[in-house]
């Protein structure tokens, strides 16, 4: 409860930091970033696995997401002026998509700045039960029609992976790191990764392999045809301010 109160204050005071992790192409170029929330509570680092859950219980995820999106838009606007076109993906929980004001914000951002829809990607995780709510499917269809890219995150770890490919207009599939970690040695994981890539390919979806930690894993995934790679082997997440110049350097 004490942590919840502190978290509420931290969210309202915008003390949750936005960190970015690159998503790279096989030749090592940055294709995009994933935005990840980080909370430094007076020197004590609280992992998102803990505070995202607390924020959800407190109904504070829409505010957290609104603050994050506004920071991302500010960075993307700067990059846009510098002629840098590097999209940023961010994680969306069901509670955020169910929130009318947050949904309206996502729609109005694109009405006001049509270029933004190509620069913001939505990562939807399939593990949240609310993701089966028809209102969420309807909203994701609207966001897709507005031009937003939608990625299915943690693919293969939830209850309804294949059904989600029907219900959600996703154009990117992220293979969860639990399938990547045992590579290259484990044949069954390799077979699952290959089949998932074939499935995505037949649905015209891009694939992102996440959690790549070794050169062997990176080389293997590239040889299997994976075109977007993410993981500590390439770069760990770090504060957005550290990437602002990096983005500009691409102009
Ligand atoms: O970055 P890290 O591996 O610590 O993230 C742990 C989990 O928290 C991941 O599932 C990630 O998707 C989630 N997460 C990180 N930042 C955010 C955020 O801003 N919003 C939501 N909804 N989830 C996040
Ligand atoms: O659930 P989601 O895929 O959004 O989780 C992303 C989380 O994975 C982030 O917290 C990020 O810090 C973490 N992550 C990113 N790359 C790696 C990696 O190579 N290895 C491990 N163990 N975690 C990673
Ligand atoms: Mn993610
Ligand atoms: Na994931």
pLDDT in tens, 13-57: 999 999 999 999 999 999 999 999 999 999 999 999 999 999 999
CB burial string 158-183: b at 16+ within 10 A, e below: beebeebbebbbbbbbbbbbebbeeb
Burial of 214 (0-12, 13-18, 19+ CB in 10 A): middle
Residue 22 near ligand 2, beta carbon < 6 Å? no
Which pLDDT score is estimated for 244? 83
CA distance 96 to 112: 21
| Residue bearing the CA closest to ligand 1, atom 7 | 49
What contacts 24+ positions apart, CB below 8 Å, involve 213-218? 213/181, 216/183, 216/184, 217/180, 217/183, 217/184
Instruction: Kindly report the backbone phi and psi dihedral angles of residue 151, in degrees, each rounded to the nearest multiple of 5, phi listed first.
Output: -110, 135
**CATH numbers and ranges of domains, the chain:** 18-39+57-249 (3.20.20.450)
Q: pLDDT under 50 in the chain at which residues? A: 249-251
- pTM value is 0.96
210, 212, 218, 235: which to mutate for ligand 2, most atoms within 8 A of CB?
210
Is this complex's ipTM strictly greater than 0.90?
Answer: yes
């Amino acid at each position: 409860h004490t942590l919840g109160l502190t978290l509420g204050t931290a969210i309202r005071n915008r003390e949750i930091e936005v960190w970015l992790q690159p998503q790279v192409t096989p030749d090592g170029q940055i294709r995009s970033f994933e935005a990840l929330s980080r909370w430094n509570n007076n020197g004590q680092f609280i992992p998102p696995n803990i505070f995202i859950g607390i924020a959800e219980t407190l109904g504070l995820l829409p505010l957290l997401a609104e603050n994050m999106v506004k920071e991302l838009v500010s960075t993307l606007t700067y990059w846009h002026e510098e002629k840098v076109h590097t999209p940023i993906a961010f994680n969306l929980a069901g509670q955020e998509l169910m929130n009318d004001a947050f949904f309206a914000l996502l729609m109005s951002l694109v009405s006001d700045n049509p270029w933004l829809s190509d620069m913001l990607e939505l990562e939807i995780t399939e593990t949240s039960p609310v993701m089966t709510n028809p209102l969420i499917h309807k909203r994701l269809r609207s966001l897709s029609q507005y031009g937003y890219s939608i990625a299915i995150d943690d693919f293969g770890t939830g209850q309804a992976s294949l059904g989600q490919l029907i219900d959600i207009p996703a154009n990117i599939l992220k293979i969860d790191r639990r399938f990547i970690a045992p590579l290259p040695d484990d044949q069954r994981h390799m077979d699952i990764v290959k089949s998932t890539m074939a499935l995505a390919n037949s649905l015209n979806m891009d694939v992102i392999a996440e959690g790549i930690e070794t050169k062997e894993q990176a080389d293997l995934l590239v040889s299997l045809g994976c075109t977007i790679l993410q993981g500590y082997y390439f770069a760990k997440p770090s504060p957005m301010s550290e990437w602002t110049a990096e983005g500009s350097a691409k102009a």
